[in-house]
């Protein structure tokens, strides 16, 4: 099933099999699979025979999104998991030099610097695509039992250090700082940091 992530271009355009052409949209969402396995699920403008798709940590298909780091990430049920996604757009547009770093509970599990997020400067990171669901779009993806997912301390930052707080509902006044990471970039608008506290049961 899908978890929140970042979108660019028209909201919800790059999902459900609607592909990125490089000048229309992009999405970089988290995803979980059977047994708590995780990955980054990407709609970006690459073809199955591209060098990007030949990376052993990438699985591509032309019908749906690209899987990055499948099996590298793990979301254990019954406990909170802290997730940091640090992304920088490819610059100039059309170059394969976009950055993606994913941290789980403060440890880096995914590090890539060859991502072609876009082919034109008209597309950039625009906001948080916040939705979670089982699927796929067919009944066999539905859960056979009641299942819950909880989110807390969701933060989105552009070009500045992002801090994740715990305790007292995540407020800065009453909470304890558990992490801070500065992001270096040449263009302030090119970097987003999404911090997600995810609890599976």
Q: Are 19 and 43 contacting, i.e. CB atoms less than 8 angstroms apart?
A: yes
Rounded to whole angstroms, the Cα distance separating 157 from 95 reads 24
Q: What's the domain count of the chain?
A: 1
Quote the percentage of the chain above a pLDDT of 70.
Answer: 79
Rounded to whole angstroms, the Cα distance separating 39 from 128 reads 17
Tokens 């992304």 — which residue? 87
Compute φ and ψ for 21, nearest 5 degrees. -100, 0
Instruction: Tell me the pLDDT tens digit for each residue of 13-43.
Output: 888 888 999 999 999 999 988 888 899 999 9
Number of H helices, E strands in the chain: 0, 13
DSSP secondary-structure letter at 108?
Answer: E
Pairing of strands 162-166, 149-158: unpaired
B/e letters for 107-143, b = 16+ CB within 10 Å, e = fewer, are eeebebeebbbbbeeebbbbebbeeeeeeeeeeeeee
Pairing of strands 80-88, 191-200: antiparallel
CATH number of the domain where residue 109 is located: 2.60.120
Q: Which residues pair with 166 in a beta bridge?
A: 176
The two structure tokens encoding residue 93 = 């547009």
Look at 16-20, 65-69, 72-76, 140-144 and tell me which has the smallest mean pLDDT: 140-144
Residues in the chain: 201
Instruction: Tell me the pLDDT tens digit for each residue of 158-189.
Output: 765 444 333 333 333 332 333 333 333 322 22
* Structural domain boundaries enclosing 10: 2-200
Largest interatomic CA distance in the chain: 51
pTM: 0.78
Q: Are 168 and 175 contacting, i.e. CB atoms less than 8 angstroms apart?
A: yes
């Amino acid at each position: 099933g899908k978890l929140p992530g970042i979108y660019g271009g028209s909201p919800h355009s790059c999902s459900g099999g609607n592909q990125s052409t490089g000048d229309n949209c992009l999405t970089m969402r988290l995803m979980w699979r059977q047994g708590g396995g995780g990955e980054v699920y990407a709609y970006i403008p690459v073809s199955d025979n591209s060098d990007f798709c030949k990376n052993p940590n990438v699985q591509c298909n032309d019908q749906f999104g690209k899987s990055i780091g499948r099996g590298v990430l793990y979301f254990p049920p019954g406990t909170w998991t802290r997730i940091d996604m640090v992304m920088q757009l490819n610059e100039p547009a059309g170059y394969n030099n976009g950055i993606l770093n994913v941290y789980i509970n403060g440890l880096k599990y995914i590090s890539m610097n060859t991502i072609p997020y876009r082919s034109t400067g008209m597309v950039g990171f625009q906001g948080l695509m916040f939705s979670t669901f089982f699927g796929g779009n067919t009944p066999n993806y539905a859960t056979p039992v009641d299942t819950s997912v909880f989110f807390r301390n969701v933060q989105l930052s552009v070009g500045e250090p992002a801090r994740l707080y715990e305790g007292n509902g995540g407020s800065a006044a009453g909470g304890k700082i558990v992490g801070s990471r500065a992001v270096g970039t040449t263009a302030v608008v090119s970097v987003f940091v999404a911090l997600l506290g995810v609890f599976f049961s």
